[in-house]
Every structure is written in C-alpha cells, then in structure tokens.
Chain A
Amino acid sequence: MDTIFAELAACAARPLRYASEWKQATGRKVIGSFPMNFPGELGHAAGALPLILQESEEAITVGHGLIYPFYCGFTRSLVDQAAKGDFSLLDGILFGDHCVQLLGAADAIRMQLPQTRVIFYQLISSMNDPWTHGRAMESFAGLRREMEELAGHPVDDDALRASIKLFNENRQLIRRIYELRKEGKAGLSSRQMQSIVKSSMIMDKAQHNALLRRLLQQLEARTTPATADVRLHLSGHFCQAPKPELLDMIESCGATVVGDDLYHGFRYISTDVREDDGDPIDALAEWYMARNTRVPCPTRVQNNVDWDGFLINAVKNERAQGVIVLMAKFCEPHMYYYPEVKEAFERHAVPHLLIETEHESMALEGLKTRVETFVEVVKRRYAA
C-alpha cells in the first residue's frame, strides 16, 4: 500500500512533472483545464491527457503583476504559474466556468501564453432553466469540435463512450473507498484521501484505475481498529485542494474525517455519466446537471436544490458529529452561501467551525487551538 500511495502522492505533488513525463513517454497531447466541470472524458477520447490544473505550493511572485492580491489563491496561483512559464508543456488550456475570478485569470493567462490554444466554453450556470440541458449540450458539442481540431482527428461517439466508461469506473472505485472511510474501515488519513482524488485529476485514467483496484483489494482485506476520535465532515474549497498540512493538523486534534464535499473529494466523484448507446454529448449534459442536484455547488444557481439541506443530510448519513467549513479566502460563491449554511447548522444543532484558508502561509498553531477547542465542544455536547 505504501508503494501505491507513494505513486499517487508523487503525482499529486508534482502534476506538471507527471504530465511532462507522460507526454514524453506517449508523444501525445496534454490539455490543461480549470475546475470544476470540464468533462475530462472529452479530452481523453481525443487521445490527450486531460489535466485539471492545480494550485502550486510556490509563493506567488510575478503573478501579482497580472492579478490583484485580493483574488482567491487558486486564480492567483494559476496566473503565476502561467507567467513563470510552467504551462509551456500544455497543448491547450480550457476554461469553462462562470466564476468571475476565473474569467479574470483566463484573460491574463491568454495574454501571457499567446502561442497556446486557450479555449473558453462558458457552461450555463443557471441549472434548472428549460434551456439548461440544451445549452450544456451546445457547449460540450463545441468543446468536442475543439478537441478534434487539437487532436487532428475526429472524436467519435464510440471513443467517447469508452472514455465515459473508464472515467465512471474511476469514480466508482474512489466512491468505494469513501464508503469504507465512512464505515471506519479505510484507516486512511485525509492527506491520503486527497492524494487519491487529486491524482485522479492528473494521472492517466487507466493507470489510476489499476492503482485503485490494487489499493481497494488491500483496504478490503485488512482490519482497521475502531477509533474514539470525533467524526467530522469537511466542507468547502470548490476549486483547489486544502493544504495537506491543514488536514494533518485537524486530524491531530482528535478528529477523523468521515466525509466531505470538497472539490478534491466527494464533489469530483459524486456522479457518473450515463452509459448507453445514446448520444454521449447528451449524457455529458445530463451529468453536468445531475452533479449539481447531487451535490449542490454555490458556483451554480439552482433554486430547487439546497446546499445547506445537502450538508445536513450528509452529516446524518455519515454519522458525523460536526462540520469544519474550509472557506478559501476571497471565494465569493462560498461567502454568499455561508450564512445559509451557518443558520442551517444552528437550526439542526450541528456543531461547526469556519476556517478561512489562504494560499500564503496560515498560522497553523492558532488554527490548531481553535480546532482543539472545537473538538472539545463536540465531545462535551455528545457526552451530555
């Protein structure tokens, strides 16, 4: 198992190096995309490696000559990486999303990389209009044409269906690990869980599936001792991965994370694409809408689903005793929705703690005091 995690963690820690080595080994193209909704299946079916661009661990330097410091760390990091030339290996970059800060990053990156094909395909973000499905299909159909131009060959329906099947398998494998974690049978840290999901965003999918199958065999074969730790749900972070040291710190305070709705977590794997002989573009559009119904995202608007309601149900389903909300500083969608979530937790007596996270250093010792206190509060509440 250690070898598997070493491989997953190495990929997660150095995504661009993995992509570069893959490109050299295969001679094929690498398409970088922004989160959250690009169907990697399309890039895969075109024969490319679809890579979800990640926040770098490096301090932001030249990027601050292109974007203000009062933007979320993720957009600043991406602009910084582009400005430093880190994205030179990419054959194309895709942006599809609606978040205004990502749009600013898209503009800055396109100006920095005039030789790189930068594709924008704005997905409709209003999720339950009569035209939502049709518009999503138009966007994905347009994207497919772009992939074909990039690849230099058609991307036919059979190839796309095969990619969908592969990606679905990947999501199902990771969801099985999530089930084991919820049942207390995984014995994995949050850092390890993150490396599983994050490496899926980067690695060749067939390679990742093979690693996951081996990992699951070992996880299901072993016995994990029960723990008296406080069971927590982690919520937030719709684009970038929470820093692993933050996750380590939370767990060091006597907590076990039993579920999450992070992008580098359950959001990424929650929903499969329909597999049948029908139109795969139609299936992808359906997937795009179903994902938000399954795990509502504040970056979309959908009046008939409630993220706060989802969280309360998730807490019950996971038998979580509390929630730590991780809010990336300057993340507007989260800032908008947080009061609803907070009030829902209060109405349902769910203990919760808000931690604002930053790209730059965080005062972990100060945060640790807050988490330790929170864990104590939860323990006392459950003992009472």
Chain B
Amino acid sequence: MQTQVPQQKKANKLASTKLGGKLVNDYWEMVFRAREQGKLVCWYEGSAINPFLQAADICWVHGEAYSALLAARHQEVTAQKAAEERGYQRELCSYARTHLGCAITNLRNPVPPDAPFVSMAEDKYLSSRLPPPDMIISAYAYCSTGQQWDEMTSRVFGKKVPIFNVSLPWIWAQKPDAGYLKGQEWEETSAYVARQLNDMVKFIEQQTGKPYPWDRLRELMGQVKRASELRLESMALCSRRPAPASFFDWVASIAPINHLPVGPEIVDYFQAVKTEVEQRAARGEGAIHKEKYRLFFDGIMNWNKVGWLAEKFAQYDAAVIAGRYTHMAFWQEPGLIDPQDPVLGMAQNYLVCPNNHSAPILIGQILKLCEQYEVDGMVLHASRTCRAFTNPQFLIADAASKRLGIQTSTFEGDVTDESFYKDELVNSRVEAMLEAIDARRARAA
C-alpha cells in the first residue's frame, strides 16, 4: 500500500513558477519549427550568449537546457543510449552525452515525416527533434568539457558546420590585488573576453550576411538586466524566517533567466515571482510548512530528481534556501551590465559563472551566502560526471565547517544520469547531518 505524504510535509512550491512551464514549452516549439520558418540554428552550451543570437534572429539551442529538460521529464534514456552505442562512456559528462545522443539520433533516426510535434508530454521523438545546427558557438567558462563537447559536436556533423570559440580564462587570483570582481587579472581577462565577443559578432554577421543589429541587443540586455534584478530581489527576501521560497523554486526559474527568449515575458515572470514571494513573506508563509532547518545546496542540480529532492527535504522539515548553482549564476551581476554598451558586462557575467573563480574567492562568496541566509547546514551534490562543480567541494565543506561551524553532508548523484543517484545514501547522510544540527543546538541551549 503506497504511503501518502501528509500535506504539511509537502513542499510548498511557488505557484508563479508554473508560468515558466508555458514559456519553456513555447520556446522549444519555436526551436522545433525553426527550420520550417527558414531560421538559422546555432547550437551552444554554457555561457548565455543567446541574447547575441536572438538579436540577430538566429534560433539558439542551449545543449544543457535540452539535456536537463529531457532528464526532468524522464525522457533522457533514448538519447543517452544512442550516445553509448556510438562509444561515449558513461563516466563522460552526462549533459554532453545526452546532447551528443540527440545529435546522433537526429542524424541516424530522424523524426518520421508523419510525426509532427504535438506537445512535450506526448512526443515520442524528443531526442531526435532538435534541428541540426547551421553554426556552433563555444563559450564555456572553466570547464574544458564544454569546449571539447562543442568540438566533438562539430565532428558528429562531419565538420561541415562552422564553429567559433570564445575562450574564457579561469580567474586564479594569486596576486595581492585579486578579489571578486577586482584586480588586474579581472580587468585584463574581462577585456580579453569582450574582444572575443566582438569577434563573435563578426562571425554572426558572416553567417547571417547582414550587419549586426546592435540596437536590438541593447534592448534585449535592458530586459535581461531588469529580469535579473527582480530575480535577485526575490532571492534576497528568503533571508527571512520562514524562507518564502526554496532553492528548488529558483531551479524551476533557471530557464527564464538562462535561455528562454528575452522580452517583456521574462520581466513579467520574475515580477510575478517577486510579488508572490513578497506576499508569502508578509504573511509568514514558508517554502515548507514547518521550517526546522535551513540549508545551503552546493553543486549542480540533479535534473532527474528535482521534484523528488524538493519533497524529500520538505519531509525532513529542511528548507533548502540557496545554492551555488542558482545564486552564483545566470546574470547574477546585473550591475555590471550597461544596456547601452553591454558587451563588457556580458563578458564579466560569463566570467563569474559559479565555477570560474578559484577556490579562495568561490568559498568566500559561498560563505557570504550561508551567512546571509543563516543556514544551519550544507548539502553537497557530488555529481558523478560534472567535475566542474565537484572540484572544490571538499574545500568548500571544510571551510563551511571550520569558519562558520556549519554541518555538511554529501550525497551522490549526477546531472542527468539517474543511475548514479543513490537514494539511501541521501537519506542516511541528510538524517545524520540533521541529527548533528539538533545536537549542536541542544548543547548551545
């Protein structure tokens, strides 16, 4: 007999994030129809270069977004199997493996002509639906995997698709003047990336055969800036007790800030989110019904388990409030963007991706968030095939414990390969961490 979870133990998800569902579906339908509409298609991963592409009326396809979508809908296996059959090993980044699997099925098992796209929920050919690229742009901070993934995608398509690389250096920050958003290394690296973005625009012009519409980019970046500000303002409200929204609500809001079409719709979306968060804060309504613990989530999301994990932590009365993936990513420095001259600010936002500062700076930013949100503990997702995120995790956990006295706990999973997720380990480790928090509180009392 299935055990029903009592209502008061369920996650109290933001209603406004459901608006994003329609935006997501509309975007992917637009992608699936791009060829019919005569649009050029650009495949890219990592950095949010989509405003550059949208401004030029190019259809953009973000690889991780599609892999995450498939995993969240539990429809990733077809693509992953296709990749494995070709010889990609399971220890390879599962985002890449899923996306490369889509490229392979696109070539080898194209969608039958009598199977038009109906809806995401009903479609059986999602792994074949992505339109093949007319160009590839690689702009991936920190993770060598991203750049190599784009290069191999180009080879899957027979090297017939032009590819452009933007190199984003890691901020090592060894010099005395180095710090977050400051120092000679930061200034020089920002300028280097900005120069490459300007060259990328020339590449785009070569592909479209038209002058680049800079005014349109300026307009779009004004909207990105506003959407980002609203998102950050909403997040900041969660330092209250109880936190009115959770890390999982912010995960559900990634698509609108990351890769959905820029326009009034994303500004409206984040305004709606902020309004709901403000209303909850005013009436003392939390993201979970009984907030006994406040946690920070380090690591990338486990896309196969978003809902599952949201409910799991709710059952433990643990509010997961903030995370590196949501709070240190996705245009999180809108103050750097000058919509009238956006390229440098865009370059700098790409450089502050959640992994692209070396550990001392990264840890400093994470601990600030832990203090801001007054967390009791930190859960770290050891994502098997995403080493970009797992790289500094031992250092982060050590610092959190020594410098802030927070309990930490690690669980094993992956970005989009469900076979790496170990549920019983999550249970036992999280329970142990919460018991340790209780014991510490009892000692302090």
For the complex of A and B, the 6 pairs showing the least CB-CB separation, nearest first, are A104-B391, A339-B87, A126-B165, A301-B151, A120-B172, A107-B359
Bound complex: CA of A92 vs CA of B88, how far in Å?
Answer: 37
Is A18 located at the chain interface by the 8 A CB criterion? Answer: no
* Closest Cβ–Cβ distance, residue A251 to chain B (whole Å): 27
Q: Which residues of A contact B390 (CB under 8 A)?
A: 68, 104
**How far apart are A324's CB and chain B's nearest CB, in angstroms?**
16
Say whether B167 contacts A111, CB under 8 Å.
no
- Whether A120 lies near B87 (C-beta < 8 A) is no
The answer to whether residues A70 and B167 also contact, given A336-B149, A339-B86 and a CB cut-off of 8 A, is no
Bound form: Cα–Cα A131–B165 in Å: 11
A99 within 8 A of B: yes
Would you list which residues of chain B between 413 and 434 have a CB under 8 Å from chain A? none
Further 13 A-B residue pairs, CB within 8 A, beyond A103-B142, A339-B86 = A66-B395, A70-B385, A104-B391, A120-B358, A299-B148, A301-B151, A332-B144, A332-B145, A332-B148, A332-B387, A336-B145, A337-B152, A339-B88
Contact between chains at B395 and A119 (CB < 8 Å): no
Separation in Å of the B351 CB from the closest CB of chain A? 13
Complex interface: chain A residues within 8 A of B359 (CB): 107-108, 110-111
Task: Give the residues in chain B near A66, CB-CB below 8 Å.
Answer: 394-395
B143 touches A100 (CB 8 A): yes
**Closest approach, in angstroms, between the C-beta of B30 and any C-beta of chain A?**
29
* In the complex, chain B residues whose CB is within 8 Å of the CB of A243: none
A335–B165 CB distance below 8 A: no
**Max chain B C-beta neighbours (<10 A), residue from A106, A108, A118, A332:** A332
Return the contact of B88 from the options A99, A129, A335 (Cβ within 8 A).
A335
B41 is an interface residue with CB less than 8 A from chain A: no
Question: A362 vs B8: C-alpha distance in the bound complex, in angstroms?
Answer: 52
B53 at the interface (CB under 8 A from A): no
Given contacts A107-B392, A122-B170, whether A338 and B165 have CB atoms under 8 Å apart is: no
Q: How far is the CB of A130 from chain B (nearest CB, A)?
A: 8
Binary contact track A104-138/B, C-beta < 8 Å → 1, others 0: 10111011000000111010111001110001000
> Is B221 positioned at the interface, with any CB of A under 8 Å from its CB?
no
Interface assignment of A370: CB less than 8 Å from any CB of chain B: no
Q: Are A335 and B382 in contact (CB under 8 A)?
A: no
A192 at the interface (CB under 8 A from B): no
Please state if B196 and A131 are interface contacts (CB–CB under 8 Å): yes
Q: 1/0 contact trace for A249-277 toward B, CB 8 Å?
A: 00000000000000000000000000000
Query: B326 at interface (Cβ–Cβ under 8 A)?
Result: no
Q: Which residue of A lies closest to B97 (CB)?
A: A335
**Are B167 and A118 in contact, CB atoms less than 8 angstroms apart?**
no
B24 interface residue (CB < 8 Å to A): no
Known: A107-B358, A303-B154. A336 touches B148 (CB 8 A): yes
**In the assembled complex, which residues on chain B have CB atoms less than 8 Å from the CB atom of A124?**
167
Q: Are A342 and B87 in contact (CB under 8 A)?
A: yes
Interface pair A332/B93, CB less than 8 Å apart? yes
Name the distance in Å between B392's Cβ and chain A's nearest Cβ.
Answer: 6
Roughly how many angstroms separate A336 CA and B152 CA in the complex, as a whole number? Answer: 7
Q: Is A244 an interface residue (CB 8 A)?
A: no
Task: List 25 A-B residue pairs with CB atoms under 8 Å apart, sorted by A's residue number.
Answer: A66-B394, A68-B382, A68-B387, A68-B393, A98-B147, A100-B142, A100-B143, A103-B144, A104-B387, A104-B392, A107-B391, A107-B395, A108-B394, A110-B358, A111-B395, A120-B358, A122-B169, A126-B167, A130-B199, A301-B147, A301-B150, A303-B159, A330-B91, A335-B92, A340-B155
Q: Is A298 an interface residue (CB 8 A)?
A: yes
B54-93 vs A, CB cutoff 8 Å, 1 = contact: the mask equals 0000000000000000000000000000000011110111
Chain B residues with Cβ below 8 Å from A303 are 151, 154, 159, 163
Does A22 have its Cβ within 8 Å of any Cβ on chain B? Answer: no
A342 to B85, CA, bound (A): 12
What 1/0 mask marks residues of chain A from 60 to 91 whose CB sits below 8 Å from any chain B CB?
00000111101100000000000000000000
- What is the count of residue pairs linking A and B with beta-carbon distances less than 8 angstroms? 123
Are the CB atoms of A108 and B147 closer together than 8 Å? no
Q: Which residue of chain B is the closest to A97 with respect to CB atoms?
A: B144
Smallest Cβ-Cβ distance to A339: which chain B residue: B87
A333 at the B interface (CB under 8 A): yes
Inter-chain contact B147/A126, CB cutoff 8 Å: yes
Q: Is A293 an interface residue (CB 8 A)?
A: no
Interface string of A324-356 (1 = CB under 8 A from B): 000001101101111110110000000000000
With A and B bound together, what is the CA distance between A2 and B116 in angstroms?
72
| Most chain A beta carbons < 10 A, residue from B143, B167, B170, B392 | B167
Q: Determine the chain A residues whose CB is within 8 A of the CB of B4 once the complex forms.
A: none
Question: Is A101's beta carbon under 8 Å from chain B?
Answer: yes
Report chain A residues within 8 Å CB of B151: 301, 303, 336
**Chain B 377-414 against A: per-residue CB contact (8 Å), 1 yes, 0 no?**
00000101101101111110000000000000000000
Return the CB mask of B143-183 against A: 1 if under 8 Å, else 0: 11101111110110001000101010110101000000000
Contact of B384 among A65, A70, A108, A329 (CB under 8 A): A70
Given contacts A135-B167, A301-B165, contact A99 B144 (CB under 8 A): yes
| Assembly CA distance A183 to B144 (angstroms) | 38
